Amino acid sequence: MLAALAARSVARAKGLLIALAALLCGFQVLVIVSAREIYRGQMFAELASLIPSGLQQMAGGLVFTSFTGLASFGFFHPVVILVFVEAAVFLATEPAWEVEAGMVDLTLARPVPRSLVISRTLLVAFGAAAALALLMALSTRLALHAFAPATAAWPRVETTTLLAINLAVLAWCFAALSLLIAAMVRRRSTAVGIAGLAAVLLYLVHVLAELWRPAYPLRLIAPYHYYNAPALLALTSNGWQRDLGVLLGTTALFVAAAYVVYERRDL
């Protein structure tokens, strides 16, 4: 039953997933081609001078001053992160659509446990985020082999892998929040609206906390804080494990709450 439900969801989201995969992988290739040109022209200093110091500080010194940093930029470019997160939000709100469209009246009139609807959504949203992150990592490695200058220091495989894993887990966290909201409401637009807006607002909180000292304590409430790309790039500390733990723990809490809420609600 789970396979049938998941296959149906994937079939419905097929177009979106293909488009996203093409967009995100294409962007990775574009970033690496751009990094090659900057490397060949030795224009890192000029590039760094164009970026406000605050943003440079936020992104870590390595990003705009080295081929390694720039070639990995596709994993933490704000647009990429937000597109990734918003896609996860959309996929995770399917339970609200099913209530809105009346599909639950057909699926749950059959011997399908309610929990399976949540499990199916988890499988699809989490699986899609993981698959997209994996494709981004693969396209990065392929693009490096195809376009990167042999003399440049490439991002290490571990770095690319960790960036992809962290990005996927960040998306899971927002998918879990969206799932919880979708488990409560009757309209997908409501669920996407609330969760999507929360994703954007929390990103702004993250940026604000990084750039404005008085807002610094707020950084802890933004999940983006736990996707520390500069540290991952530098591979300097093991903080990423703690960050992943926070994101996974929050995700688990939201998911557990979604199961409970959906089990108790009127459909």
Partner 1 sequence: MPEPVAALATEGLTKYYGPVIGIEDVNLVVHGGETFGFLGANGAGKTTTIRLILDLLRPSRGRATVGGLDCRQDSVRVRQQIGYLPAEMPVYPEMSGRAYLAFLARLQHPAPDAAWMESLLRRFDVSDTDLARPIRDLSHGMKRKLGILQALMGKAPLLILDEPTSGLDPLMIEAFVETIRELRAEGCTVFLSSHVLSEVEKLCDRVGLVSRGRLVKIAALDEIRDRMPRRVRVVFSQPVSTPPPTLAGTRIVRASPDEWIVEISGPAGPIVQWLGALPVRDMDIETATLEEYVLGLYSEGTA
106, 146, 235, 256: which one contacts partner 1 (CB under 8 A)?
106
18 binds partner 1 (CB under 8 A): no
* Residues within window 63-102 making contact with partner 1, judged by CB under 8 A: 101-102
4, 19, 200, 204: which one contacts partner 1 (CB under 8 A)?
4
* Residues within window 113-172 making contact with partner 1, judged by CB under 8 A: 113-114
d(CA 182, CA 177): 9
- What six digits make up the tokens of 251? 């995700």
Residues 235-264, one symbol each (x = binds partner 1 by CB under 8 A, - = not), give: -----------------------------x
For partner 1, the closer CB: 77 or 265 = 265
CA 202 to chain centre: 13
For partner 1, the closer CB: 102 or 214 = 102
103 binds partner 1 (CB under 8 A): yes
DSSP assignment, residue 26? H
Burial of residue 85 (CB within 10 Å: 0-12, 13-18, 19+) is buried
Angle at CA 132, nearest 5°, toward 241 and 219?
A: 40
Q: What are phi and psi of 191, to 5 degrees?
A: -65, -45
d(CA 258, CA 35): 42
108 binds partner 1 (CB under 8 A): yes
Residues that bind partner 1 in the complex, under the rule CB under 8 A: 1, 3-5, 8, 12, 101-114, 264-267
